[in-house]
């Protein structure tokens, strides 16, 4: 057959022949199957779409045998299109564009292949910054399938050694589940596990077991492995349903996200979600996809099988937004079907008995904020603006003030603690505006046992900041500089490496700069351990005694300085 194609091509005109060769070449390029990014046996520590705080997991995490330094290879032909170095997030990350229109991403790396590493180091010294981003041209770093491009690590926001791996659509940036390409290398015969369900009576429109509050119900398993809800459920009116579940795999103790969720009532599908890909701009919709309050208060994930009107997450396929209506005195039969990528399936059947019950009406109080309109509140020392699209559902905003005569400002309680889709401006009065250095003021969000510095801009007795949550806020000052401490100083000379720990108690580390005898020297920053490390570089550093100087600046502009005579 191949020979016949070539005969036909040779018989046509030259221009057409070139086009046909191009088409055949394109077919060959598209047919290239990805190899595994490492040569070790593959096990997952995290799967695609897994539920995380504030976002969906955008890739699959390969275990690296509990250590760093595993060789990482290009899964397909292509070229390095982006290199990113950061103390946060992906850490050291590499992006490779492929001819088939996909991009593979390799994150939390320890280091890059020598040519790439050299380019990164040159950029870091040119910009005098550890955090850098490179966008090489197509001809700078071409790679072949299987070529070593890096070594696995634990950089950035990684919680332990592993390789974070992604496939993206190069043009749209949409991330896609990479696991289907590696199903043959990773064994999974275990179905998702169900832990419980939750019913959500809609405001002034539904009631469950005589209560208008959300209620959770445990799931039990009989000897045959069938799961059921242990308690008889009664309801009336409009109800939402949620499920607490996770996936498992062979030969690991990890838990993972559920790939596909289907909810049926009386045999008809009322909700369907499929996590096979998503756009990064949609990732924060997780705060509406899950029961956010339950997550914040108890670190427990309930997935809501209904959608709020402001939730535009494209993996959701609900009917009537997934809300069920219980309006007859009968038994409603519901069934959850949960699947993983391997089509391993779990089912949970349960009944809700329709029981006519008076639904109490509680008149709402506060300022009405619509999810699809621009909203503004001005009063009681607060100026809040929430543009359309930042609320997931309508809400009534109640603002209260708790005076504190010993502070610069009271505690401003701005509504219930709920998430916003993006940052929104909030301006607070500073009634006791007596601190001389106004640059040290900052808005602080008050949580359960913690304070988060939002910072802000001083505006003549007021301060403006941005927040992605409603809740409780006040105004404080940060007048304390960061703290710099040497780590294992006695080993510096022998190991040819300087280690320092930098910490800040409120506004956080904003920047740092190290020099040896006045010349910039690179310190790598591991933000999760607060460690700065500087390894001796024979190409850029001299031997002998020299003066080390490190200046660290926090988010309020306070500076700390560390100086010491060292010897390499």
Inside any domain, residue 95: yes
Give the domain-ending residue among 435, 461, 477.
477
Residues 119, 161: one domain? yes
Residue 202's pLDDT band (boundaries 50, 70, 90)? very high
Residues 107, 174: one domain? yes
Inside any domain, residue 302: yes
Q: Give the model confidence (pLDDT) of 70-117 as tens digits.
A: 999 999 999 999 999 999 999 999 999 999 999 999 999 999 999 999
pLDDT for res 31: 53
Residues 128, 49: one domain? yes
Q: Give the model confidence (pLDDT) of 410-468 as tens digits.
A: 999 999 999 999 999 999 999 999 999 999 999 999 988 889 999 999 999 999 999 99
Residues 174, 251: one domain? no
Distance CA 332, CA 266 (A): 6
Residues 202, 350: one domain? yes
pLDDT for res 343: 98
Give the domain-ending residue among 124, 150, 182.
182
Report DSSP letters for 515-562, one per residue. EETTEEE--EEETTTTEEEEE--TTT--SSEEEEEEEEEETTS-EEEE
Inside any domain, residue 38: no
Residues 173, 236: one domain? no
Helix, strand or coil, per DSSP, at residue 7: helix
Give phi and psi for 424, each to the nearest 5.
-125, 145
CATH number at residue 541: 2.60.40.760
- Cα separations (Å) of 388 from 373, 378, 465? 4, 17, 19
Residues 13, 123: one domain? no
Can you point out the beta strands (E) in 127-191? 132-134, 142-143, 148-152, 162-169, 175-176
Give phi and psi for 382, each to the nearest 5.
-125, 140
462 CB neighbour count, 10 Å cutoff: 19
Average pLDDT over all residues of the chain: 93
Q: Please tell me the total number of residues recorded for the chain in this structure.
A: 568
Give phi and psi for 164, each to the nearest 5.
-85, 125
Inside any domain, residue 278: yes
Residue 147's pLDDT band (boundaries 50, 70, 90)? very high
Q: Give the model confidence (pLDDT) of 177-193 as tens digits.
A: 999 999 999 999 999 99
Nearest by Cα to 548 from 536, 531, 530, 539: 536
Residues 330, 403: one domain? no
Number of domains, the chain: 5
Inside any domain, residue 36: no
Nearest by Cα to 508 from 460, 423, 451: 451
Inside any domain, residue 360: no
Give the domain-ending residue among 304, 332, 354.
354
Which of these ranges, 34-43, 257-266, 443-452, 554-563, has the smallest mean pLDDT?
443-452
Residues 80, 198: one domain? no
Residues 178, 199: one domain? no
Inside any domain, residue 37: no
Residues 240, 332: one domain? yes
Give phi and psi for 118, each to the nearest 5.
-65, -45
Residues 396, 519: one domain? no
CATH number at residue 458: 2.60.220.30
Name the residue range of residue 11's domain. 1-31
CA atoms within 13 A on the CB side of 288: 25
Q: CB-based burial of residue 195 (10 Å sphere; 0-12 exposed, 13-18 middle, 19+ buried)? A: middle
Q: What is the pTM of this model?
A: 0.92
Inside any domain, residue 343: yes
């Amino acid at each position: 057959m191949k020979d016949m194609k070539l005969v036909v091509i040779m018989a046509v005109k030259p221009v057409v022949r070139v086009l046909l060769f191009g088409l055949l070449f394109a077919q060959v390029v598209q047919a290239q199957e990805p190899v595994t990014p490492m040569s070790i046996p593959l096990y997952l520590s995290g799967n695609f779409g897994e539920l995380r705080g504030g976002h969906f997991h955008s890739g699959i995490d390969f275990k690296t045998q509990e250590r760093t330094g595993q060789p990482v290879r290009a899964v397909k032909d292509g070229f390095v299109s982006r290199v990113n170095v950061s103390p946060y997030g992906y850490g050291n990350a590499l992006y490779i564009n492929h001819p088939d229109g996909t991009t593979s991403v390799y994150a939390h790396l320890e280091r890059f292949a020598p040519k790439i590493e050299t380019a990164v180091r040159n950029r870091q010294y040119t910009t005098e910054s550890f955090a850098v981003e490179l966008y090489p041209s197509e001809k700078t770093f071409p790679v072949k399938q299987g070529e070593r491009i890096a070594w696995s690590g634990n950089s950035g926001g990684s919680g332990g050694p592993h390789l974070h791996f992604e496939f993206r659509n190069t043009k749209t940036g949409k991330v896609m589940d990479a696991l289907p390409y590696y199903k043959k290398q990773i064994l999974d015969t275990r179905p998702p596990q169900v832990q419980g369900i939750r019913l959500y009576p809609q405001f002034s429109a539904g009631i469950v077991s005589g209560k208008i509050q959300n209620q959770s119900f445990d799931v039990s398993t009989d000897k045959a492995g069938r799961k059921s809800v242990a308690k008889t459920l009664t309801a009336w009116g409009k109800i939402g349903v949620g499920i607490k579940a996770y996936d498992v795999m062979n030969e690991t103790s990890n838990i993972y996200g559920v790939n596909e969720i289907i909810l049926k009532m009386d045999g008809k599908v009322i909700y369907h979600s499929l996590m096979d890909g998503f756009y990064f701009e949609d990732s924060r919709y997780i705060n509406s996809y899950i029961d956010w309050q339950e997550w914040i208060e108890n670190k427990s994930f309930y997935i809501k099988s209904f959608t709020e009107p402001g939730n535009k997450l494209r993996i959701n396929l609900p009917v009537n937004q997934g809300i069920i209506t219980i309006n007859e005195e009968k038994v409603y039969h519901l069934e959850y079907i949960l699947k993983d990528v391997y089509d391993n399936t779990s089912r949970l059947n349960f009944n809700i008995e329709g029981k006519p019950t008076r639904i109490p009406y509680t008149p709402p109080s506060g300022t009405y904020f619509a999810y699809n309109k621009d909203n503004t509140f001005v009063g009681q020392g607060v100026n809040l603006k929430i543009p359309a699209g930042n609320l997931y559902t309508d809400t009534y905003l109640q603002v209260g003030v708790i005076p504190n005569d010993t502070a610069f400002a009271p505690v401003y309680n701005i509504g219930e603690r709920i998430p916003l889709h993006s940052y929104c401006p909030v301006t607070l009065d500073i009634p006791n505006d007596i601190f001389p250095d106004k640059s040290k003021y900052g808005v602080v969000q008050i949580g359960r046992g913690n304070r988060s510095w939002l910072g802000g801009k001083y505006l003549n007795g007021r301060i403006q900041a941005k927040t992605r949550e409603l809740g409780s806020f006040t105004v404080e000052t940060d007048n304390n500089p960061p703290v710099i401490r040497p780590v294992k100083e006695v080993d510096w000379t022998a190991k040819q490496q300087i280690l320092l720990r930098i910490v800040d108690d409120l506004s956080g580390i904003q920047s740092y700069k190290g020099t040896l005898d006045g010349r910039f020297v690179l310190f790598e920053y591991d933000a999760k351990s607060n460690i700065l490390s500087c390894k001796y570089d024979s190409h850029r550093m001299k031997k002998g005694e020299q003066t080390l100087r490190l200046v660290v600046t926090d988010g309020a502009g306070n500076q700390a300085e560390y100086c010491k005579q060292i010897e390499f």
